Amino acid sequence: MSNINISLSFRTKIQLITFQMTYYGPIILLIIGIFGCSCNFLTFTSRRLRKNSCAFYFLCSAIFEFLTISFGLTTRLAADHFHWNLQNKSRLFCKFRAYYVSTVPLIATYLILLSALDRCMSSSVHVRLRSLSQIKVAYRNVLIMIIIGLISCSHIIFSYDLRSKCATLPGMYTIFDGMFVVFWLGFIPHGMMLIFAFITLMNIRRARQQMMIRPTMKAMHINQKQSQHNHKTNAQLLLMMLVQIGLSSLLILTRTIYYAFYIVCPLFTGDAKALGSFLMSFTTLLYYTNYVKSFYIYTLTSQLFRSIFMQRIKECIPKCFQSNTPMLYCNSRRIDF
C-alpha cells in the first residue's frame, strides 16, 4: 500500500511539473523568440551586413525561425491547454500542421548549414572556392534549399492522417518518419555543420601560416583599411556561426536521440509513461529553444553584432517618433508638434 502511494505521489508530481512546463515554457519561448527574431531582422538588414553572404543566410534563417516558433508553439500551446484540437479533428489541418512544423524548421536548420559552408569557402586558400562566398551565390543557394526542404518533406502529407489523433500511419510509415527526423533533421545537417566548422578552422590556421612565411603579401592590398574591415566582419561572423552550430547541435541532437529512443522502445505504462511524457515535453521545448536562441548568441559572442544592433536602434527610434509627429501646414510652412 505504501509503495502504491509513493508511486501515485511520484506520478502526480511529474504530471504537475509537465503541465506547468508545457504551459509556461511555450509562452516564454514565444516572447523571447519573437523579440529575438525581430532584432535579428533589424540587424542583418543593416547597410554593413546586407551584402555579406553569411549574414544573408543568418537573416533568412531568422525569418524561418520566426515562422517556426510563431506557428508551432502557438498551436501546441493551444492544443495542450486551451482545448483547441483542430489537428485532431480536421484531416486537412492535421496534414498541413505536420508538414509545416517539419518543413520550416528543417529549412531554418539547413540555412545555418549554408552559413557554415559559406565560412568554409571564404576561408579557403583556393581563389575559386572563395569566389563561391558571394551574395549572388547566396541568393541562389537559399532558393535551392527552400525547394529541397519543401520537396523532401512532401511524404508527410501522405503519411500523416487522423486516427485516434493526428499521427503517422502505422507500420513502415512510422519507422520511415522516425528515421527521417533522426537523420535528415538531426544527424546529417549538424554533422555536416561540425565538419565544415573544423575545415574552416583548419583553413584559417593554414592561411596564418602562409602569412607568416610571406609577410610581404600585405603590401599587395590596394586598400588595406577596407581589407582589415572586411576581415574583422568575417571573423565576427565566423565566431557567431561556430557558437550557433555548437548549441544547435546540442539542443537538436538531444531531442533527436530521445525521439529515436521513443520510437524504438515499447509503449510506457504507469510511472514510466508519466516520465516519458515529461521527457518528450522537455525535449520538445529544447527543440523549439534552438529556434529562439540565435539573437542572444549573436549578442553575447559578437561585439560587431552588438554595435550594429545598437546603431540600428538609434536610427529607428527617431524615425518612429518622426512618423508619429502630427504636422500642420500654415501658409505653406510646416509646423511640427
- Whether residue 320 is predicted with pLDDT greater than 90 in this model: the reply is no
Residue 214 resides in a domain: no
* Mean pLDDT of the chain, nearest integer: 84
92: CATH: 1.20.1070.10
- Whether residue 259 is predicted with pLDDT greater than 60 in this model: the reply is yes
Q: What is the pLDDT, as a whole number, of residue 333? A: 43
Residue 226 resides in a domain: no
- Predicted confidence (pLDDT) per residue in 123-174, tens digit: 888 888 888 889 999 999 999 999 999 999 999 999 998 887 888 888 888 8
Write down the pTM of the prediction: 0.86
What gap in Å lies between CA 252 and CA 178, rounded to an integer?
A: 14
Residue 94 resides in a domain: yes
Q: Count up the domains in the chain and report the number.
A: 1
- Predicted confidence (pLDDT) per residue in 202-245, tens digit: 888 887 776 665 554 444 444 555 455 566 777 788 888 888 89
What gap in Å lies between CA 77 and CA 33, rounded to an integer?
A: 15
- Whether residue 7 is predicted with pLDDT greater than 70 in this model: the reply is no
- Predicted confidence (pLDDT) per residue in 26-53, tens digit: 999 999 999 999 999 999 999 888 889 9
Residue-number span of the structural domain to which 83 is assigned: 2-209+236-336
> Which of 39-53, 192-206, 264-278 is least confident?
264-278
Residue 215 resides in a domain: no
Residue 227 resides in a domain: no
- Whether residue 179 is predicted with pLDDT greater than 90 in this model: the reply is no
Residue 66 resides in a domain: yes
Q: Which pairs with CB-CB distance under 8 Å and at least 24 residues apart come from 160-166? A: 160/94, 160/95, 160/98, 160/99, 161/91, 161/94, 161/95, 162/88, 162/89, 162/91, 162/94, 165/85, 165/87, 165/88, 166/87, 166/88, 166/94, 166/97, 166/98
Q: How confident is the model at residue 261 (pLDDT cuts 50, 70, 90)?
A: confident
Residue 221 resides in a domain: no
CA 147 → CA 64, 132, 136, distances in Å?
Answer: 14, 20, 17
Residue 222 resides in a domain: no
Output the DSSP codes for 181-199.
Answer: IIIIIIIHHHHHHHHHHHH
Give me the half-sphere count of Cα atoms (radius 13 Å) on the Cβ side of residue 126: 6
> Which of 180-184, 235-239, 306-310, 319-323 is least confident?
319-323
- Predicted confidence (pLDDT) per residue in 228-237, tens digit: 556 677 778 8
